[in-house]
Structure 1
Amino acid sequence: MPGSPDARTLVCVPPDLRARLFGRELGEARLLDDPADRAGLAEALPGTEILVTGWGMPVLDAALLDLAPSLRLVAHIGASVKFFVTGEVFARGIRVTQAGQAMARPVAEVALAFTLSLLHRIHRFDHALHSDADWHTAEQAPPRHEILGCRVGVVGASRTGRAYLDLVRALGAETVVSDPYFAGEPGVPAVPLDELLATSRIVALHAPVLPETRHLLGARELALMPDGAGLVNTARSWLVDEEALLAELRTGRIDAAIDVFDAEPLPADHGFRSLPNVLLTPHQAAGTVEARRRQGALVLDEIRRHRAGLALRHEVTPEMLERMG
Structure 2
Amino acid sequence: MMSTRVFVAITEPEFARLYDAEAQSRLRALGEVVHGEERDGRVPVPHDIATQFDVLITSWTTAPFPPEILDGPRLRLAVHSAGSVRNLFPVATLGGAVRLAQGGADAMALAVAEMALALTLAHLRNVVWHDRRFQQSRDWKAGGFGVLGQSIAAQRIGIVSLSRVGRHFVKMVQGLGATRLRAYDPYTSAESAAELGVELCSLEELCSTSDVISIHAPSTPETESMIGADHFRRLPDGAIVINTARAQVVDEAALLKEVQAGRLRVALDVFTNEPLNPDSEFFGHENAILMPHVAGGTVQARFAQGAHVVDEVDAFLRDGTLRSEVTTENYHRLG
CA shift for structure 1 position 31: 1.7
Structure 1 counterpart of 2:76: 72
Question: Secondary structure, in 3 states, of the residue corresponding to 1:211?
Answer: coil
CA shift for structure 1 position 62: 4.6
Q: Deviations over 1:44-93 (max 9, x none)?
A: 62412111111265666453224x54110010112322332234433422
CA shift for structure 1 position 299: 0.3
Unaligned runs of at least 5 residues, structure 1? 1-5
Alignment CA distance shift 1:272-1:163 (3 Å):
same
Structure 2 counterpart of 1:156: 161
CA shift for structure 1 position 254: 0.9
CA shift for structure 1 position 142: 8.2
Distance 2:74 2:269 in 1: 39
Structure 2 counterpart of 1:267: 277
Alignment of 1:297-312 (within 5 A): 297-312=307-322
Alignment of 1:53-72 (within 5 A): 53-55=58-60, 57=62, 61-66=66-71, 68-72=72-76
Question: What do you get for the CA RMSD once the two structures are aligned?
Answer: 2.5
Question: Secondary structure, in 3 states, of the residue corresponding to 2:152?
Answer: coil
Is residue 119 of structure 2 the alignment partner of residue 119 of structure 1? no
One-letter code of the match for 1:127?
A: R
Q: 1:35, 1:57 within 8 Å by CA — same for their partners in 2?
A: no
Distance 1:279 1:221 in 2: 20
Alignment CA distance shift 1:289-1:219 (3 Å):
same
Alignment of 1:1-325 (within 5 A): 8-24=5-21, 25=24, 26-27=27-28, 28-32=32-36, 40-43=44-47, 45=49, 46-55=51-60, 57=62, 61-66=66-71, 68-99=72-103, 100-132=105-137, 135-139=140-144, 144-173=149-178, 174-184=180-190, 185-186=193-194, 187-325=197-335
Q: 1:61, 1:86 within 8 Å by CA — same for their partners in 2?
A: no
State which drifts further: 99-108 or 20-29: 20-29
One-letter code of the match for 1:305?
A: A
| TM-score normalised by structure 1 residue count | 0.89
Unaligned runs of at least 5 residues, structure 2? none
Distance 1:91 1:224 in 2: 43
| TM-score normalised by structure 2 residue count | 0.87
Distance 1:207 1:35 in 2: 34
CA shift for structure 1 position 146: 0.3
Alignment CA distance shift 1:103-1:40 (3 Å):
closer
Q: 2:54, 2:76 within 8 Å by CA — same for their partners in 1?
A: yes
One-letter code of the match for 1:255?
A: R
